[in-house]
Amino acid sequence: MTEGNTNKNFLRRQSALAHVINYGQFGNVSLNGPGLFICERHPLTILQLETAKSKNPQTLAEISNLLNVEFPQTNNTCHGDDERRSLWLGPNRWLIVEPERDCLQTLIKTKFSSSDVFLTDLSHGRSTVRLKGREAREVLMKGSGVDWHLNSFGTDHCVHTKLFDLAATVDCRDIDVFDIYIARGFAEDFWDILLDSAEEFGYQVD
């Protein structure tokens, strides 16, 4: 799935998964169709934002206005849509994700002094996989001991956890839609484990 800027003047970001992705249906696909739909979201701007504790509410409100996105104050929750999304990562720490367009970092940096807000561009360092379908939670269950039940992990919840022994952020976009952010260097390994786990349910790579 290609997202974001396709402008030729823009230095095109390379996907870490492009050369391992085979499109089509694989595994034990039943008459009901594949249990899972898997695709890569690319290219995305992924920015980690931390604020100085003393200036936290004020700075956050201003950035929130600038970007038109709310920063969740509740642990393990997210806000926003596919266009721009913010995820709670830890105290005073958030992840901002959007399809790559402008340089978000520059946009924020020009308005705020560096002692108020700390930004780390992770766009080059993360790969994003979208997992969708009726068996998506089953596959997540294989990878981590987090309670993936709908009652505790519903829409607009996120967790930063160890998934298949890799550090991963999982964002619940909808009841059975999940975005998984992993370190780019492990993306290929993660992709292999994910497909192995999905095989018994049948999956489609889009």
Partner 1 sequence: MLIINCPLCGPRDHAEFTYIGDATKNRPKSDDISNDDAWYDYVYLRDNPKGLHEELWQHSFGCRCFVKVVRNTVTHQIIATGMPKEDLILDEKGFERSV
Residues in the site for partner 1, rule: CB under 8 A? 75-76, 89-91, 93, 144-147, 152, 159-162, 167
Q: Is the dihedral of CA 187, 192, 197, 198 positive or negative?
A: positive
Tell me the C-alpha distance between 179 and 167, whole Å: 14
- Tell me how far, at minimum, the Cβ of 70 lies from partner 1, in Å: 19
Tell me the C-alpha distance between 7 and 162, whole Å: 36
Q: Which is nearer to partner 1, 1 or 167 (CB)?
A: 167
- Tell me how far, at minimum, the Cβ of 162 lies from partner 1, in Å: 4
Q: Which is nearer to partner 1, 129 or 170 (CB)?
A: 170
Q: Which is nearer to partner 1, 36 or 140 (CB)?
A: 140
**Cβ contact 76:38 at 8 Å:** no
Using DSSP, state whether 22 is helix, strand or coil: coil
Q: Which is nearer to partner 1, 124 or 162 (CB)?
A: 162
- Tell me how far, at minimum, the Cβ of 201 lies from partner 1, in Å: 24
Distance (Å) of CA 27 to CA 34, 83, 120, 138:
9, 32, 39, 15
- Tell me how far, at minimum, the Cβ of 153 lies from partner 1, in Å: 10
Q: Which is nearer to partner 1, 120 or 152 (CB)?
A: 152
Q: To 10 degrees, the CA torsion angle through 33, 41, 99, 159?
A: 90
Which class for 101: exposed (0-12), middle (13-18), buried (19 or more C-beta within 10 A)? middle
- Tell me how far, at minimum, the Cβ of 93 lies from partner 1, in Å: 8
Q: How many Cα neighbours within 13 Å face the side chain of 48?
A: 13
Q: Which is nearer to partner 1, 5 or 56 (CB)?
A: 56
- Tell me how far, at minimum, the Cβ of 17 lies from partner 1, in Å: 22
